[in-house]
Structure 1
């Protein structure tokens, strides 16, 4: 892995991936999107959803915002399968130094390097930090 730009963000993201019921990987997607670019942030989250779901082989997914529960924080989302509503990914959108970083974690069944390459190629992405 290259130089870590935000040690605290990396450490907290890695802590989310500690062993649990399923093995997880993660990625921090660094964007050029500011706090006023809601539509672009939504579109990027939809594009990332598609990419993670494709790499995970999960089929069609939707994005759950958690507005009906107090278990979710603001700007926290999940990608769930259409058929069984099973977990595909979860993310938290964090405004850092004027632009958003989006912390994603997902099942460790994906080819991490290939997924990171695909995420890095998306519009508004300034870089991706893989979290093993």
Structure 2
């Protein structure tokens, strides 16, 4: 199921906007493709992230994958709970498995993102 109230990147990140703060995570599709996630590397609070740039990585039992920032801004929170239990990303990617929160520095942070229907089409077999 793809939540309708989120925005998505073609690199399989999701974005939930609350004013100028964007919560970012990876989609259920992405976690399913990765398999069991065992480690996550995230940027620090205060780091500036650029739309489209690599901001961290996910290590699973299958591979290591880059995490891309879906927007430009400043990291205001990171999900430190993932440091000891990265597997939460597999079990709850749209909830407790969120990665970072970013204060957007863009006029329209959703301009380069797609909505749920388009993301569903992107990931359809």
TM range (shorter): 0.3 to 0.5
- Pick 1 or 2: higher relative contact order, CA cutoff 8 A, min separation 6: 1
The structure that is helix-richer by fraction is: 1
